[in-house]
Amino acid sequence: MTARLVVEGLTKRFGGLVAVRDLSFEIRPGEILGLIGPNGSGKSTAMKLIMGIERPNAGSIRLDGVEIAGWPAHRVARAGVGLVFQHSRPLHRQTALENIKLALLPDSLTRLITDHSVTEQARAIGESVGLGRVLDRYPHTLPFADLRRLELAKAIARNPKLVLVDEPFAGLTSAELADFSRLIAHFRDEGRAVLLVDHNVKGVAALVDRVVALYLGERIAEGTAEEVMRDAKVRQVYLGGSIEMHARPAQLNAARSLLEVEDLSVFYGKAQALERVSLSVRAGEFVSVVGLNGAGKTTLFNAISGLVPYQGRILWNGVPLAGQSAAAIARSGIVQCPETRELFGDMTVQENLDLGGQHQPPEEERKRLRWLFDLFPILEARRGQAARTLSGGEQQMLAIARALMMNPRLLILDEPTLGLAPVILEQLSQALERLRETTPITVLLGEQNVRFALSHADRVYVLEHARIIWEGLPEHFAKEAGAAYL
């Protein structure tokens, strides 16, 4: 069967960063291809290149033999490519039915008035995706899963040959996930080609016909879901290589609980980001929360830091944190180093550090500064340099150092290894070991990088689709949770 979509040698650069490098694959009519990879692997960029949202630097994209690389998005859509966004984008002043009718309108300013047949067609499409009872309601009144169904309905309305589906299962419950999978499978039954973009193999295994795995913009594996899950390179990317375990101090088992999270649930609008999550952190412990992109790690940390509303309880030294401001929580000793770093780019290294230590007595601030320059020597050499001019690894060191300037009792590190070169990872690893060996600081680490997370953990939690699915010692992870993580 002739391929519906053929991608060959696709490359996209953003300055010095190569987001997609020499990517090739094809999709046949009636086939679902899964494009998977960890955060930063190039999945979303590849999808945007196909849809015309981004223009490639090199390569070919052919739809039914027609070259569409570099076409604007509206022309790509007219050619027969539909996109189901991860985040719903309805017109809120129109009902669900009217949103679908708008997608059915022809691309002509002289034909904007719909007839009865268009209304009936829109209603039939809505009913086919499970929206029959809510077609006359406005989007803001719909539950999250129905908003996702509305995105599917709008894509169907354009009668696409190729459907691009971005992170289809994010925010859905288990029951909704199964229902949504059936709807996507129906695209295949209708003979459409489907490119399903997701971050892990397991989430798409039962649905896709083939899988292409990406890492740092390059294809590292292709085959059935089972073949890709067994591929050595894929397992290396997701699980890392051999893990060097560090001795766990015996006294940690008897240490008092410093942080308790009980039945924590968080919603972003109608999307559930955390579902009844519970964990504990003892004084002096290093605890890792392992999870893929979108699992809920950042949401968990933001709830602990007082940055998002939540249901459930968070106890700090036995005292509930509910109702306390983020500033008060930080002053109490919980300091988060965010994934986005949030440095002041036009301020120097020294000025960023001074901001972290501004509430410390002058002598204590000077003492901590000397200690941090010993921990991260490159920062002393760069102390007069603007933060935005630092390399990515140097910026990450500065973000951690600024958090440490606040003299935390609990340091929360969110994805500290993201995008870092191996040499920087080694320096960061050594710094964390020095913290463990020479300070009483407790660390809560969130990571996709399993090897790094387990190497620096006394205990591990696995977070998947907003829920904790495993808890245990790092040495038990490979046997008890490694396969399930993929």
Taking the chain (486 residues) in runs of 10, the rounded mean pLDDT of each run is 92 84 94 84 89 94 95 92 82 90 69 68 90 91 86 87 85 73 87 86 81 88 88 73 52 74 90 91 94 86 95 95 94 92 90 88 88 90 87 86 93 85 77 89 90 89 90 85 63
How far is Cα 196 from Cα 36, in angstroms, rounded to an integer?
8
How far is Cα 71 from Cα 55, in angstroms, rounded to an integer?
8
Q: What is the pTM of this model?
A: 0.63
Domains assigned to the chain? 5-239 (3.40.50.300), 250-485 (3.40.50.300)
* pLDDT at residue 113 in the model: 53
Q: 366 in the Ramachandran plot: left (φ > 0), alpha (ψ -120 to 50) or beta? A: alpha
Of 457, 468, 478, 460, nearest to 289 by C-alpha is 460
| Strand-pair partners of 155 | none
- Alpha helices (H) in 190-269, listed in sequence order: 225-230, 232-239
Residue 122: both structure tokens together = 């829109």
**b/e map 374-410, b = 16+ CB within 10 Å:** ebbebbeebbeebbeebeebbbbbbbbbbbbbbbbbb
- Placement of tokens 């949202």 in the chain: 53
How far is Cα 43 from Cα 48, in angstroms, rounded to an integer?
9
Q: How far is residue 181 CA from its own chain's centroid?
A: 20
Specify the amino acid at residue 293: N
Residue 464: both structure tokens together = 């998947």
* pLDDT at residue 37 in the model: 82
- Alpha helices (H) in 305-347, listed in sequence order: 326-331
* pLDDT at residue 483 in the model: 61
* pLDDT at residue 382 in the model: 87
Q: Is 115 exposed, middle or buried (0-12, 13-18, 19+ CB in 10 A)?
A: exposed
Do residues 340 and 415 make contact, with C-beta atoms less than 8 angstroms apart? no
- Placement of tokens 């033999």 in the chain: 65
Of 344, 343, 314, 340, nearest to 329 by C-alpha is 314
Which one-letter DSSP state was computed for residue 480?
Answer: I
